[in-house]
Amino acid sequence: MIRNILKRLGVALATVFGASVFAFVLLRKVPGDPARAIAGDGATDEAIAALRKSMGLDDNIFVQYGNYVGSLFRGDFGFSYSTGNSVGTLLAQRLPATLELGLLSVVFAIAGAVIASSIAVYSRRRWPDRFLRISSSLAMGSPPFWIALLALLVLSIQLGIFPGPEGRLSPGVLRPPNVTGMFTVDAVIAGQWGTFVNAAWHLILPAIVVALGPFAFLSRLYRNQLRGTLRETFVTVAQSHGLRRFPVYARHVAPHGLLSLLPAASLLFADLLAGSLLVEKVFGWPGIGSMTADAIIQKDFAVVQAVLLLAAILYVVVSLAADLIMTAADPRTRVGAR
């Protein structure tokens, strides 16, 4: 077991290193001059040349990569010339909002997938299963930003059920003291229940939109797993001993299928960072996604590099944690470790 853990750690480090090289090289192949994009159309050639030199863009590729790696070890992730701040400062400011949105999206996706798949499989009627397959196909085939625009138009502007694209709080609502950076959590800690309700109401709709894609994937996966488990021998044996249908499903079928969701859900959590890119922009959510969208437009290399690397680290950490949990939960692994 220890050998497996060390092997996975080695793969994780190699993946992060590969992601850093990939992000660095990819962004330098993008057409256009980042110095000119940051300086603006009215800047003179001399000003653009000076900016290129200060950004280190005139250095050879190895020197630039060395400076990039050095900024990672310093913890500032480089300097954002479009905002005038270090990238580390921007990440610290924006990351809590994205984590708050991502965590709730994961809860919505997993809970929705488990409930919908269970109803579709357990029900003796065909329409719940058919409805789940059609709705999941639509969710997987629809761009998140399009769903976000549609949800905002119908549920916010026309029906007024949810607030508009005004960020994390309504104007005039007291912001909670900063503890975690997540407004719902900080509001509970401070006992500001009005702020909590307002922050939660702003959070629900974008979280649902971000969760739709992962929900569609997980619901299909869990549905297929449940159907396969129902055909297993131990289910037939349990029913032959006189156990009713629901206890067999609740005690044996559903828990057996849940374990298969863990690796997929962990990988989708990392993918939520990419899924929230344009959704945050549509809802005016001040997180990593909207910051990245702005940085791409402005060709702010340092910000985009840091976000790509952050996504790779998040992917590696979450998938590694899922692997370790799966290894610990596997009886065969535990027996072999003894």
Q: Give strand pairing partners of 79.
A: 86
Q: Token pair 């996604």 is at which residue?
A: 289
* CATH code of the domain covering residue 243: 1.10.3720.10
The pLDDT value recorded for residue 270 is: 62
Query: Is 62 a member of any domain?
Result: no
> Over the chain, what is the mean pLDDT?
81
pLDDT in tens, 71-87: 777 777 878 877 878 88
Instruction: Provide the domain limits for residue 117.
Output: 94-297
The model's confidence at residue 335, banded by pLDDT at 50, 70 and 90, is very low
Assess if residue 2 is contained within a domain: no
Q: Quick check: 332 pLDDT over 60? A: no
Question: How many domains is the chain built from?
Answer: 1
DSSP track, 56-118: TTTS-HHHHHHHHHHHHHHTS--EETTTTEEHHHHHHHHHHHHHHHHHHHHHHHHHHHHHHHH
**Residue 113 C-beta-side C-alpha neighbours within 13 Å:** 31
Most confident of 157-161, 199-203, 221-225: 199-203
* Cα 187 to Cα 174: distance, rounded to the nearest angstrom: 10
179 with 185: CB under 8 angstroms? yes
d(CA 336, CA 338): 5
In a domain, 214, yes or no: yes
Who contacts 270 (Cβ-Cβ below 8 Å, separation ≥6)? Answer: 311, 314, 315, 318, 319
> Residue 223: in which H helix or E strand, if any?
helix 193-230
- The reported pTM is 0.79
